Chain A
Amino acid sequence: MIAIQDLNLILSGFRLQNINLRIHPNDFFAVIGPTGSGKSLLLEAIVGLRPIQSGRIYINNEDLTHTPPERRKLGIVYQDYALFSHLSVRKNIEFGLQYNHIQPQTGKKRFENLVETMGLGHLMHRKPGTLSGGEQQRVALARVLIIKPRAVLLDEPLSALDPTYQDEMKDLLKTLHRDWGTTFLLVSHNFADVLYLANQGAIMHEGRIEQQGATQELFEKPNSPFTAQFVGMKNFFKATIHKKRAVLDHLELHLDSISKNDHSYLGIRPEDILPVAAENHGQPNVFQGNLTKVVNKGFQFEIKLDVQGTRFSALWSKRTVLDLGLKTGTGLPIAFPPECLHTF
């Protein structure tokens, strides 16, 4: 278990403020946030590479706040891999063995296991500079896993990779997490990656933790306007909310549960706004809308809608748009499913 209590860190005018996190053993935990929110700084503070101003860091109930990084046994993998360019792939992977007092037999076994799992056998004598991004990433992971760290900390592990290789790497990360029985702590700005990889997570904004919980919960039940927008809730409005009713401009929407008294914002994801057949007209939360813009985004279309004076953004499949013959100026009934409406 990694427990961070009231961590504060100041670096060149930027502050990590009162960070509290609990990461359970074998969790795949993600710290998510926009660029500059302090995610990587937090990662380095946990490893001991950044001095903190106050707070405590516990790993398996051991207070490591003032322990130097070389004695924390936390492996970090950076976005740019940070391989030792003067050493061969083999020597990169074996680097940590001697410092962690690993028996030669155990080290050899782990080495062979990792090389096989990662498919690195043919690269042993190559220097890192001659490897592709994906190969370097695998070497960096093997180099960390060979010491069996108490946790593997991954700083944006997918962002420097070719998009075609990202899915492969995501699967590899899942496999390694399952097979090595180690806690993984991932830092990312991409919520789709996090949803696929992590079971728990925290959203960071300007050096603070905004929300923490199961990743699915973060995605489905954001608890603040920032979190909502960050997890892709593009339709976000100031609204008059009372019990199971939300009013924005001339639109009255029904909610599926009674809202809290202090809620004054309403959000809905673009993919949850649906085109429906004409016979649904008059049903609750179904309104006539006009398409003001239809943008082809490849596999999907982004639709800009005007519903009774309120502008929405929707994401519809290519098939839906082509089957219904939708184009700018088309009018059709639009549904806002009550279970997809979120208030804050």
Chain B
Amino acid sequence: MVSRNMLFWPAASLISLPLAFLILLPLSQMLIQPQLSDLKAAITDKQVLAALGRSLGTSLTATLVAVVFGTPLAYILARKQFWGKKLVEGLVDLPIMIPHPVIGIAILSVTGENYWLGRLLLAIGIRVMGTYTGIVLVLTFVGLPFYINTLKAGFEDIPVRVEKVSRSLGAGLYSTFFRVTFPLAWRSMILGAILCTARAISEFGAVVIVAYHPMTAPVLIFERFTAYGLKYSQPVACWLIIISLALFVCMRLLSREQEER
């Protein structure tokens, strides 16, 4: 008689199967359906190339902004107890929860000419609506929670005692952070950056409000779909998937190399 235990893993796999189909089937069709000639035509199309480049460029810039400004915040949240900490954590999570067009509208409302911040930005030559800057701002907003939460968990995994020992050995707070904490959190930073970039590169709802032009890849895909139909949007989408996949594999490999060192 077959033991019930022996059925556990096959049963778990069977239950998981619909999910695998849900993800793999549409994506694989997206990759298989376009003909090679369509893919070739798409990648030589200047508009497509510009949109793909812009998507990559703005997403990576947004991730860089998240790394610079999010790392200290993640460290504070991981190490310090303070009044209102839960509120700050809630605020960090907020962009995950609210509809993304709302994020776009919210950003426009403070950076437009009718608001003091918008007027101030304009005065120093920074325009948000319909610009590269605006896209980066929106992508940072939506990607930041993924970076901060991943890195915060990474910092929390580093025993506080190694930092304490470092201090007792004569290293100040800055030296301890850069010689002990930072190298130990490196992998979490890469992982957080991957998630942040992934979120940013796929963003459509908020970007379309703040900057329909210049077009990012998701906006271009949407435009081609609404104007010309599935056949014309698929090759662009296919290239976006391929480039994103290549980027994330590279980042994963980089983080593994760092860990091995």
Interface residues of A in 80-117 (CB under 8 A from B): 80, 82-86, 95-96, 99-100
B180 and A84 within 8 A (CB): yes
How far is it, in angstroms, between the C-alpha of A209 and the C-alpha of B34 when the chains are bound? 79
Give per-residue flags for B146-186: 1 if the beta carbon is below 8 A from chain A beta carbons, else 0: 00000000000001011011111111100100011001100
A70 and B165 within 8 A (CB): no
A82 and B161 within 8 A (CB): yes
Instruction: State the Cβ distance, A221 to closest chain B Cβ, in Å.
Output: 35
Q: Given A49-B167, A68-B167, A95-B179, 17 other A-B contacts at CB below 8 A?
A: A47-B164, A49-B164, A68-B172, A70-B168, A70-B172, A74-B168, A75-B168, A80-B159, A82-B159, A82-B161, A84-B162, A84-B180, A86-B184, A95-B166, A99-B175, A100-B169, A144-B169
Instruction: State the Cβ distance, B252 to closest chain A Cβ, in Å.
Output: 19
Selected from A49, A86, A147, the residue in CB contact (under 8 A) with B169 is A147
How far is it, in angstroms, between the C-alpha of A44 and the C-alpha of B167 when the chains are bound? 11
Known contacts A80-B159, A85-B184; decide if A96 and B169 are in contact (CB<8 Å): yes
Selected from B161, B167, B172, B180, the residue in CB contact (under 8 A) with A78 is B161
Instruction: State the Cβ distance, A80 to closest chain B Cβ, in Å.
Output: 7
Instruction: State the Cβ distance, A68 to closest chain B Cβ, in Å.
Output: 7
Give per-residue flags for B12-44: 1 if the beta carbon is below 8 A from chain A beta carbons, else 0: 000000000000000000000000000000000
Instruction: State the Cβ distance, B187 to closest chain A Cβ, in Å.
Output: 10
Interface residues of A in 49-89 (CB under 8 A from B): 49, 68-76, 78, 80, 82-86
Most-contacted residue by chain B among A69, A74, A76, A83 (CB, 10 A)? A69
How far is it, in angstroms, between the C-alpha of A144 and the C-alpha of B164 when the chains are bound? 12
Q: Which B residues are in CB contact (< 8 Å) with A69? A: 164, 167-168
A143 within 8 A of B: yes
Who on chain B is nearest to A102 by CB? Answer: B170
**How many inter-chain residue pairs (CB < 8 Å) link A and B?**
67
Q: Which B residues are in CB contact (< 8 Å) with A44? A: 164
Who on chain B is nearest to A71 by CB? Answer: B170
How far is it, in angstroms, between the C-alpha of A49 and the C-alpha of B183 when the chains are bound? 22
Report the contact-size class of chain A (Cβ under 8 Å from the partner): 20 to 34
Instruction: State the Cβ distance, A147 to closest chain B Cβ, in Å.
Output: 6
Selected from B162, B170, B175, B179, the residue in CB contact (under 8 A) with A82 is B162
Who on chain B is nearest to A95 by CB? Answer: B169
B170 and A99 within 8 A (CB): yes
How far is it, in angstroms, between the C-alpha of A241 and the C-alpha of B257 when the chains are bound? 74
Instruction: State the Cβ distance, B163 to closest chain A Cβ, in Å.
Output: 9
How far is it, in angstroms, between the C-alpha of A49 and the C-alpha of B171 when the chains are bound? 13
Q: Which A residues are in CB contact (< 8 Å) with B183? A: 86
Q: List 9 contacting pairs A-B, 8 Å CB cutoff, sorted by A.
A: A47-B164, A68-B172, A78-B165, A82-B161, A82-B162, A86-B183, A100-B169, A100-B170, A143-B169
Known contacts A83-B162, A99-B175; decide if A147 and B170 are in contact (CB<8 Å): yes
Instruction: State the Cβ distance, A55 to closest chain B Cβ, in Å.
Output: 20
Q: Which B residues are in CB contact (< 8 Å) with A144? A: 168-169
Known contacts A68-B172, A70-B170; decide if A82 and B165 are in contact (CB<8 Å): yes
Q: Which A residues are in CB contact (< 8 Å) with B167? A: 48-49, 68-70
Q: Which A residues are in CB contact (< 8 Å) with B168? A: 47, 49, 69-70, 72, 74-76, 144
Q: Which B residues are in CB contact (< 8 Å) with A75? A: 168-169
Q: Which B residues are in CB contact (< 8 Å) with A76? A: 164-165, 168
Give per-residue flags for A110-154: 1 if the beta carbon is below 8 A from chain B beta carbons, else 0: 000000000000000000000000000000100110010000000
Interface residues of A in 10-50 (CB under 8 A from B): 44, 47-49
Who on chain A is nearest to B172 by CB? Answer: A70
How far is it, in angstroms, between the C-alpha of A72 and the C-alpha of B167 when the chains are bound? 10
A70 and B171 within 8 A (CB): yes
How far is it, in angstroms, between the C-alpha of A49 and the C-alpha of B163 when the chains are bound? 10
How far is it, in angstroms, between the C-alpha of A24 and the C-alpha of B169 when the chains are bound? 22
Q: Can you list the 4 inter-chain pairs with the closest CB atoms, starting with the nearest?
A: A99-B170, A96-B169, A82-B161, A69-B167
Q: Which B residues are in CB contact (< 8 Å) with A83? A: 162
How far is it, in angstroms, between the C-alpha of A140 and the C-alpha of B161 when the chains are bound? 12
Q: Which B residues are in CB contact (< 8 Å) with A73? A: 170
Who on chain B is nearest to A69 by CB? Answer: B167
Q: Which B residues are in CB contact (< 8 Å) with A78? A: 161, 164-165
Instruction: State the Cβ distance, A137 to closest chain B Cβ, in Å.
Output: 13
Instruction: State the Cβ distance, A72 to closest chain B Cβ, in Å.
Output: 7
Instruction: State the Cβ distance, B76 to closest chain A Cβ, in Å.
Output: 18
Q: Which B residues are in CB contact (< 8 Å) with A68? A: 167, 172
Who on chain A is nearest to B259 by CB? Answer: A86
Instruction: State the Cβ distance, A58 to closest chain B Cβ, in Å.
Output: 18
How far is it, in angstroms, between the C-alpha of A84 and the C-alpha of B183 when the chains are bound? 10
How far is it, in angstroms, between the C-alpha of A48 and the C-alpha of B161 when the chains are bound? 13
Who on chain B is nearest to A153 by CB? Answer: B168
How far is it, in angstroms, between the C-alpha of A147 and the C-alpha of B166 when the chains are bound? 12
Q: Which A residues are in CB contact (< 8 Å) with B165? A: 76, 78, 82, 140, 143
B170 and A96 within 8 A (CB): yes
How far is it, in angstroms, between the C-alpha of A74 and the C-alpha of B183 when the chains are bound? 25
Q: Which B residues are in CB contact (< 8 Å) with A140? A: 165
